[in-house]
Amino acid sequence: MPNSYKNSFILNFYNFTKKMNISIPIFQLKVEQGGYHLLIKSRFNSLVSGYVIIDTGASMSAFDRETCKDFTKPYINLKEIQSSGITNESLQAVPVIIDKFFLGRYSFKFTKAVLIDLNHINKLYSNFSKKNIIGLIGGNFLKYFNACIDYKNNKLHLEI
């Protein structure tokens, strides 16, 4: 085997054993009173797609109960739990595992997420956008992948 091929394989193998940085496009959606929400195009398969909100204030990633129930499996030994958002309104949350979920062109596994009713969020968003929200990416995901939000270039950088 020529040295160039051998070295190329070693270099490629070495790169795959190290953490890799990826960038996922984000959309800044202007909301009322001059604020912005950050969205990522996402999907479970070719039939179920929409957007997720990057929610740095959420401790756990959450997905819409009705839209996503067929793509999840229950988290063992946990039943429904109470969850609340910034409004202090109580939500019924079902802990789940999601084996395959796409953010942009990359697939991920969520070992811990919750299913909640996101009708109120989609109703709110209908006032200024036609984007269907299917989930919230929370702190558990952002911390695990050492996420960095690049507002200038509209990218979410992750270490995978």
For 37-74, what is each residue's pLDDT tens digit? 999 999 988 888 999 999 999 999 999 998 888 887 77
- Higher-pLDDT residue of 107 and 10 is 107
pLDDT band at 112, cuts 50/70/90? Answer: confident
In a domain, 130, yes or no: yes
pTM here is 0.79
Please state whether beta strands 133-137 and 148-150 pair in parallel, antiparallel, or not at all (unpaired). Answer: unpaired
The parent domain of residue 124 ranges over 19-159
Q: Give, in order, the Cα–Cα distances in Å from 58 to each of 121, 125, 136, 153.
A: 14, 18, 8, 23
Backbone angles phi, psi at 58, to 5 degrees: -90, 130
- Higher-pLDDT residue of 89 and 49 is 49
CB atoms within 10 A of CB 131: 17
Q: Which two tokens stand for residue 100?
A: 């395959």
CATH number of the CATH domain containing 81 = 2.40.70.10
pLDDT band at 150, cuts 50/70/90? Answer: very high
In a domain, 6, yes or no: no
In a domain, 2, yes or no: no
Beta-bridge mates of residue 27: 39
Model confidence at 27: pLDDT above 60? yes
Cα–Cα nearest to 52, from 141, 143, 134:
134
What is the rounded distance in angstroms from the CA atom of residue 15 to the CA atom of residue 127?
A: 46
Q: How many domains does the chain have?
A: 1
Model confidence at 17: pLDDT above 60? no
Backbone angles phi, psi at 148, to 5 degrees: -135, 125
In a domain, 107, yes or no: yes
Q: Give mean pLDDT, residues 83-110.
A: 76
In a domain, 58, yes or no: yes
Instruction: Give the pLDDT confidence score for residue 117 in this predicted structure.
Output: 92
Model confidence at 3: pLDDT above 90? no
pLDDT band at 33, cuts 50/70/90? Answer: confident
